[in-house]
Amino acid sequence: MACFRDKVKKHFPLTDIKSVINLFKEQLESNEEPNLALLSIVLGCIENTLTLNRAVPTNDDTKLLRPIFPIVDFSTVDALYTQFETLVKGSVDLTKYPSGYSNRDLVKKISDVIWSSLSRSFKDKAHLQSLYSFLTGNKLDCFGVAFGVVAAAQLLGRNDIHLSLSEDHAWVIFGEDGTDTAEVTWHGKGNEDKRGQSIALSVAEKSWLYLNGHPVICNRMIEVAAIVSAANPSINFTTDSIEMGALQQELLWLLYDKGHLSKYPMALGNLGDLEEISPTPGRPPPLCIFQEAITSAIKHYDNHHVYPYTYMGAYLYRKRCYKEAIKCWAEASNVIRKFNYTREDEEIYKEFLEIANELIPNIVKAVSLNTLDRAQMNILYNPEVYADILRFYDGICEWEEGSSTPVLHVGWAQHLTFSLNKFDPRTRAKIDVGKDEDDEDSEMDENDENDNESNSKSKDKTKPQNGVPVSTNDGKETLKSALDDLKKGDST
Ligand SMILES: FC(F)(F)Cc1cc2c(N3CCN(c4nnc(C(F)(F)F)s4)CC3)ncnc2s1
């Protein structure tokens, strides 16, 4: 690895965003693999300076702000890299692992080297994802440990060991055809770590945490994208470092242009969020980027990722495009229904809980009261929106079906009835709750279907008695026409 020093030395000292971009660019364009440990140390060092201990109050109460962009000296980076190299090469006796491909013992050993160096505190704070944090503070978060194992493996020349990422967990793949898997880090709070085990049993549970076998399998380039995407520009709950955000954004565009984000929906979502904050001239708008994330998940992961839809839904909600936001959330629910809920899926449970019990109620309130969003009151007369809310809940119910842990509780029902009751009764009569033709897993067996049909005939008088479901009004239902009909007392 000594040779890497000669190549990268010329970039130092790093004094601004451009110099960091040039370093990453050369690493990505080199005929050798990009050096994960080097890039993680560099990015972690900059993030640490730009987001932690920023202001040092002085006695005359003016804030002494450090120079905005840190000067990163090669000596600093070289010392930390050498520290990492010494730790890893000093702890792993490679003669014990003669085969060209890695085995489970080696992976576990590398994980133990990282694991045993960790301090026992603060695992879920911010800025603990880089090797800079590991080497200067012995602290790493869940992602950081998994990344550290892969960076250490690269340093040991084990180029078959790669990062595998779900939407809330990380593990590694290895072996001749890259199909062996191993846990190398912990997950969540109060869960015993499963380090060294294959993930096969966890995948069998059909939990969202393991994405039913559709994780992002990284190569070295996508691992660089993970370093950049996992960077965290936040200084505190309300403030982000502008410089760190700009650096992350430019690095993500560099990776995007090289095609290294095309199979990484979360990184695309991250980029979309950054573009909303500070649009780059000549680049696609956030909505296009979020759509690319959705398209990537459909194309590469059999539409098993939730976050592409919630990234776009959150953006549309912030822009007060409520009808479209609700459609995204129905699509997110269409994904989660493919899984069984297990106790380690809390993160996505919280996501759906917030949508159901805060965001959708806020929308129906905002458009029904005499508020600035009253122009969107027609949402409450739009059968398509109503159908999307029903699809949203139906997906959550299907998620719960067959799960070891219940999802819904009475609090959900209270918010559900609040939201649905805000819709005009006529609108509620105008939707077709038929099953999707191509949706075999929600196929009910014959007699259930008949029962349901007989039920709907008996209990739901607004449906035309000939039982032909009224297809969704194509959303053209306008507030005016609905109100006109109401005045006429038209009861179709
Ligand atoms: F490795 C783990 F365990 F940390 C799992 C990973 C998470 C994650 C990520 N995140 C998580 C999702 N995330 C979201 N931010 N907003 C989201 C949305 F709810 F708006 F969709 S999802 C922030 C970035 N961004 C890039 N890569 C990864 S790999």
- Residue whose Cα lies nearest atom 25 of ligand 1: it is 266
Closest atom of ligand 1 relative to the 309 alpha carbon: 21
Residue 489 pLDDT grade (very low, low, confident, very high; cuts 50, 70, 90) = low
Per-residue model confidence (pLDDT) at position 431: 87
Q: Is the CB of 165 under 6 A from ligand 1?
A: yes
Q: Is the CB of 142 under 6 A from ligand 1?
A: yes
Q: Residue 67 pLDDT more than 70? A: no
**Chain segment 170-186, per-residue pLDDT in tens:** 999 999 999 999 999 99
Mutate to test the pocket of ligand 1, among 307, 310, 346, 352 (most ligand atoms within 8 A of CB): 307
d(CA 244, CA 227): 13
Q: Is the CB of 310 under 6 A from ligand 1?
A: yes
39 in Cβ contact with 66 (< 8 Å): no
Per-residue model confidence (pLDDT) at position 143: 98
* First CA to last CA distance, the chain: 77
Per-residue model confidence (pLDDT) at position 99: 83
Both tokens of residue 437?
């033709």
Closest atom of ligand 1 relative to the 129 alpha carbon: 4
Per-residue model confidence (pLDDT) at position 248: 98
323 in Cβ contact with 385 (< 8 Å): yes
More confident site: 453 or 392: 392
Q: Picking from 63-72, 135-144, 343-352, which range would have the lowest pLDDT averaged per residue?
A: 63-72
More confident site: 24 or 371: 24
Q: Residue 1 pLDDT more than 70? A: no
All residues at 6 or more sequence positions from 60 whose CB lies less than 8 Å from its CB, including other chains? none
**Chain segment 130-158, per-residue pLDDT in tens:** 999 999 999 999 999 999 999 999 999 99
Q: Picking from 36-50, 339-353, 462-476, which range would have the lowest pLDDT averaged per residue?
A: 462-476
Q: Is the CB of 40 under 6 A from ligand 1?
A: no
Distance 315 CA to ligand 1 centre (A): 15
Region 60-70: mean pLDDT is: 63
**Chain segment 424-436, per-residue pLDDT in tens:** 999 988 987 666 5
Region 39-60: mean pLDDT is: 82
Region 336-357: mean pLDDT is: 97
Mutate to test the pocket of ligand 1, among 150, 165, 191, 256 (most ligand atoms within 8 A of CB): 165
**Chain segment 352-408, per-residue pLDDT in tens:** 999 999 999 999 999 987 788 888 989 999 999 999 999 999 999 999 999 989 999
- Residue whose Cα lies nearest atom 3 of ligand 1: it is 169
Q: Residue 473 pLDDT more than 50? A: no
Closest atom of ligand 1 relative to the 187 alpha carbon: 3
Distance 229 CA to ligand 1 centre (A): 9
Mutate to test the pocket of ligand 1, among 150, 266, 274, 344 (most ligand atoms within 8 A of CB): 266
Q: Residue 11 pLDDT more than 60? A: yes
Region 2-13: mean pLDDT is: 89
How large a percentage of the chain has pLDDT more than 70? Answer: 84
Per-residue model confidence (pLDDT) at position 215: 98
Give the ipTM of the model, two decimals please.
0.99
Region 106-115: mean pLDDT is: 98
3-state secondary structure labels for all residues of the chain: CHHHHHHHHCCCCECCHHHHHHHHHHHHHCCCCCCHHHHHHHHHHHHHHHHCCCEEECCCCCEEECCCCCCECHHHHHHHHHHHHHHHHHHCCHHHCCCCCCCHHHHHHHHHHHHHCCCCCCCCCCCCCCHHHHHHHCCCCHHHHHHHHHHHHHHCCCCCCEEEECCCCEEEEECCCCCEEECCCCCCCCCCCCCCCCCHHHHHCCCHHHHHHCCEECCHHHHHHHHHHCCCCEEECCEECHHHHHHHHHHHHHHHHCCCCCCCHHHHHHHHHHHHHCCCCCCCCHHHHHHHHHHHHHHHCCCCCCHHHHHHHHHHHHCCCHHHHHHHHHHHHHHHCCCCCCHHHHHHHHHHHHHHHHHHHHHHHHHHCCCHHHHHHHHHHCHHHHHHHHHHHHHHHHHHCCCCCCCCCHHHHHHHHHHHHCCCHHHHHCCCCCCCCCCHHHCCCHHHHHHHHHHHHHHCCCCCCCCCCCCCCCCCCCHHHHHHHHHHCCCC
Per-residue model confidence (pLDDT) at position 477: 41
Q: Residue 58 pLDDT more than 80? A: no
Q: Is the CB of 266 under 6 A from ligand 1?
A: yes
Q: Picking from 60-69, 144-153, 270-279, 396-405, which range would have the lowest pLDDT averaged per residue?
A: 60-69
**Average pLDDT taken over every residue of the chain:** 88
Residue 484 pLDDT grade (very low, low, confident, very high; cuts 50, 70, 90) = low
Per-residue model confidence (pLDDT) at position 468: 25
Distance 456 CA to ligand 1 centre (A): 42
Region 231-249: mean pLDDT is: 96
